[in-house]
Amino acid sequence: MFGAGPAGAAAALALARQGLRVALVDQQRPAAINVGETVPPTIKRSLARLGIWATFLAARHQRSAGMVVSWGKDEPYENEFIYNPYGCGWHLNREAFDQMLVSAAKEAGTTIYKIVGSPDCDRDGRTIIAHTETEDVILTARWLVDATGRRAWLARRRGVRRRAIDRMIALVRFGRSLSEENRTFIEARPTGWWYAAQLPNNRAVAAFFTDADLIPRGENSWNNPVKETQLISGIIGSCFDWSPVSVIPASSGRLEACAGDDWIAIGDAAQSYDPCSGQGIVKALDTAINSAALISAQTRGEALNVELLQERADAEFQQFLLMRSAHYQRERRWPDNSFWARRRIPD
C-alpha cells in the first residue's frame, strides 16, 4: 500500500480487518495543504462501513447544517441538510481525521513504514525496497495499491499515463476566526468560484478555484479575486492571522488504466474529481473499501476481471463528467469568460 491519505489508510484498514497482512508505505514529506475539510452527510455511510463511525464522532469534528450558495444568480440560496437521511455534514480537523484512519489501520494489524525518499521496485515489480530513518526495508507483496494521489507514483512506474481534462488549481489560505457559523459558503465569480468554511479549533479556510492561466500575478492573485466577491468577502472579513497563499492542483483527470494483474489505483491516484462535486474524501473511502473487497476475493481464489474493473471505472468517470457539466451549466452569467466557456457544453 503506497500512500497514507484517506484512500490508502482506509484500504489498509479494510484489508487488515479481513485478516490479510498489510504494509502501508508512507513517504515522509512536508505537511501537505489539504482543502478537503468539508464533507457531506454521506460520510457517515462510508465510516460505518469501515467500523469507525463512533471513533469519528468522539473526535468532535464540527457539524455543518448546510450550504449557502451563490451560483447561477446573484441572490444566495441555502441548501440545508435537515432532510438528508444521513444527518448533517461536517467540517473536519483534517489532520486529526487522517490520523484517525491511520491509527485504525494500525490497530487492525497494518504495519506502517515511514520512509525517507522514494521507494523502489525490483524487477519482478512486487519487491519493494525502501528506507526509514533507522533501517532498510524490503517487502514482497502479491498486491500493490497506489494511493499516492494525483502523483500516481506506482501507476506511472508501470508506464500508465494520467490524463487531465482541465487546468484547475486552488489558491488556499487558512486563518483564525471566532465565528460560530457552521455552514459552508460557495460563490461563483467571473474567473472561477470560491469556497469558505469555519473549521474546528477556531480555524477558517478560504479557497479560490480557477484555471492556472487565469490567475493574476503577485499579490493580486488573491486580492483582486476576493474584491470581486460579495458573499465570501463578507464571511472571511472578520478572520485574522491569515496564512500565506498556497497554490495546489485541483484538476480533474484519470489514469488510462486503473489496475493490472498485481496492482490497483484508488482515490485520486485513479480518478480525481472537480472539487465542485464535494465528494473527494467520500469517494476515496468508498473506492478503498471496494478495492479491498476485490483484493480479498482474489486471495480466496476468485479471478479479478481487470477489463470489467476498467469498464466500471470508465462508467464512473463518465457519470462524473455528466454531473460536472450539468453543475457548470447552471452558471450562465458570464458565458464568454474563459473559465466558464471551457466548461460549457457546445450547443
Query: What is the sign, positive or negative, of the torsion defined by CA atoms of 82, 89, 61, 100?
Result: positive
DSSP for residue 30? S
- pLDDT tens sequence across 25-36: 998 765 556 666
Q: d(Cα 29, Cα 6) in Å, to the nearest integer?
A: 16
Report the pLDDT value the prediction gives residue 147, as an integer from 0 to 100: 96
Query: What is the sign, positive or negative, of the torsion defined by CA atoms of 108, 57, 5, 32?
Result: negative
Grid cell for residue 209: 478555484
Report the pLDDT value the prediction gives residue 27, as an integer from 0 to 100: 85
For the chain, how many residues are written?
A: 347
Could you tell me where the DSSP H helices lie in 108-263? 153-157, 220-228, 231-236
Could you tell me where the DSSP H helices lie in the chain? 6-17, 43-50, 53-58, 94-107, 153-157, 220-228, 231-236, 280-299, 306-329, 338-341
* DSSP assignment string, 258-277: SB-SSEEE-GGGTEE--GGG
pLDDT at 347 over 60: no
Report the pLDDT value the prediction gives residue 246, as an integer from 0 to 100: 92
Report the pLDDT value the prediction gives residue 36, as an integer from 0 to 100: 63
- pLDDT tens sequence across 48-63: 999 999 999 999 899 9
Q: d(Cα 346, Cα 70) in Å, to the nearest integer?
A: 24
| pLDDT mean over 234-249 | 92
The model scores a pTM over 0.85: yes
Cα atoms in the Cβ-side hemisphere of radius 13 Å centred on 186: 17
Q: How far is CA 268 from the centre of its chain?
A: 6
Report the pLDDT value the prediction gives residue 305, as an integer from 0 to 100: 83
Block residue for cell numbers 469556497: 195
- pLDDT band per the 50, 70, 90 thresholds, residue 83: confident
Which of 63, 150, 56 lies closest to 96 in space, CA to CA?
56
Contact between 40 and 174 under an 8 Å Cβ cutoff? The reply is no
- pLDDT tens sequence across 126-185: 888 888 888 899 999 999 999 999 999 999 999 999 999 999 999 999 999 999 899 999
Block residue for cell numbers 471551457: 342
Query: What is the sign, positive or negative, of the torsion defined by CA atoms of 225, 229, 234, 235?
Result: negative
In one-letter notation, the amino acid at residue 251 is S
pLDDT at 257 over 90: yes
Report the pLDDT value the prediction gives residue 303, as an integer from 0 to 100: 79
Which of 172, 177, 186 lies closest to 222 in space, CA to CA?
172
Q: d(Cα 40, Cα 43) in Å, to the nearest integer?
A: 6
Q: d(Cα 43, Cα 223) in Å, to the nearest integer?
A: 34
Which of 45, 39, 47, 85 lies closest to 63 in space, CA to CA?
39
To the nearest whole percent, how much of the chain has pLDDT over 90? 74
- Report helix, strand and coil shares of the chain as percent, to nearest 5: 35, 25, 40
